[in-house]
Amino acid sequence: MEIKVQNMTRRFGFVTAVDNVSFSFGSGDIFGFIGPNGAGKTTTIRVMTTLDLPSEGDVFYDGISAVLYPEEARRIVGYMPDSLPDYKDVAVWEYLDFCARGFGLKGALRKRRLAEVEEFTELGEMREKFLCSLSKGMKQRVSLARALIHDPQVLIMDEPAAGLDPRARLELRNLLKILAGQKKAILLSSHILSELQDICNGAVIIEKGKVLSAGSIQEMTKTVEAEAAREEKKGEVIIIECPSQLEALKLKLLEHPAVSDVCEYADGKLHFTLADEEKNLTPLMAQLFNAGLPIKGFSREQMSLEELFMRVTEGKVQ
């Protein structure tokens, strides 16, 4: 399954909420959709889930146009909004049963799907409770169950972790990993970038209605780091692990003309900046090994998703 947002624009009068947005992701991906408040995330999600029409452009699910064939797109997409209705006289099972009927599930198939999503989201013990009596975490489980009731190939989630306690966030993260393992394509909007860092393999960064960067986190990080290195004219930051002889290692590193900013990173680790990493890394490591230093490993320092976001965005709103 390939999901492709293609040149999407959405205007409200004279305001352009989403401006020529394009990105894509596929089965097994968990993509974070991140940006400041007012960036256009919810508008984009509403178009992707057929709740709104774009002024221009389209969304394709394996080539199926969400604009031309919204009914087919709805069978493919499961949408989890950022809130759940507070009905005072509707039980959890009644709400899910109503949603299943809305998707045309009948008889034994509807009962089986209800049982499956209740088991997956662990709602069995609270199926008789009214929606208004549920905690935020329980409401999010019901909302996820509703999104999964028709077994969609794509799951689009708007702020699913907002307001959840740490345990509920961990449980949600584990459920998303299971769903990605089932080859579902997942797009989730969130302001909690540390949570996205742990589960996402890609991201879309949007600001003022425009996509600033999109793709795998590894590719985006590499691009931003390369640009930063060119601007600062410093080089790559390398982490080197050496449980003993740290001082000897530090002195040896400082002897090399391409090395700068050597300092202790964590227990048994140093980090340093290496100019022209492609040219200098291999001979430097050979030099350290030949000196008999007990190096256990080395790696490039990875930029966090928060750092990536702060470098790419400017904090502007519509």
Measured N-to-C along each axis, helices 305-312 and 217-232 cross at an angle, to the nearest 10 degrees, of 60
| Predicted local distance difference test score (pLDDT) of residue 232 | 52
| Predicted local distance difference test score (pLDDT) of residue 53 | 96
Residues 100 and 306: their CA atoms lie apart, in Å, by: 38
Tell me how far CA of residue 294 lies from CA of 6, 231, 265, in angstroms. 52, 34, 17
Residues 101 and 96: their CA atoms lie apart, in Å, by: 9
Residue 140: name the closest of 112, 169, 114 by CA: 169
| Predicted local distance difference test score (pLDDT) of residue 82 | 81
Structure tokens belonging to residue 252:
């040896």
Burial class (CB within 10 angstroms; exposed 0-12, middle 13-18, buried 19+) of 295 = middle
Fold equal for 2-217 and 222-302:
no
| Predicted local distance difference test score (pLDDT) of residue 234 | 57
Please tell me the CATH superfamily of domain 222-302, with its number: YebC, transcriptional regulation domain (3.30.70.980)
| Predicted local distance difference test score (pLDDT) of residue 149 | 94
Please tell me the pTM assigned to this model.
Answer: 0.74
Residue 231: name the closest of 310, 311, 313 by CA: 311
Domain spans in the chain, listed from the N-terminal domain onward: 2-217, 222-302
| Predicted local distance difference test score (pLDDT) of residue 265 | 66
Q: Is 246 helix (H, G, I), strand (E, B) or coil?
A: helix
> Phi, psi at residue 76, to the nearest 5°?
-90, -30
Helix (H) or strand (E) holding 195: helix 193-199
* Choices 3.40.190.10, 3.30.1300.10, 3.40.50.300, 3.40.50.10860: CATH for 2-217: 3.40.50.300
CA geometry: angle 44, 147, 64, nearest 5 deg: 55
Query: Could you state, in chain order, the average pLDDT of each consecutive group of 10 residues for the chain (318 residues)?
Result: 95 93 94 87 94 96 95 94 86 93 92 92 88 88 92 92 78 89 92 75 89 81 61 64 78 80 72 73 80 76 63 60
| Predicted local distance difference test score (pLDDT) of residue 310 | 66
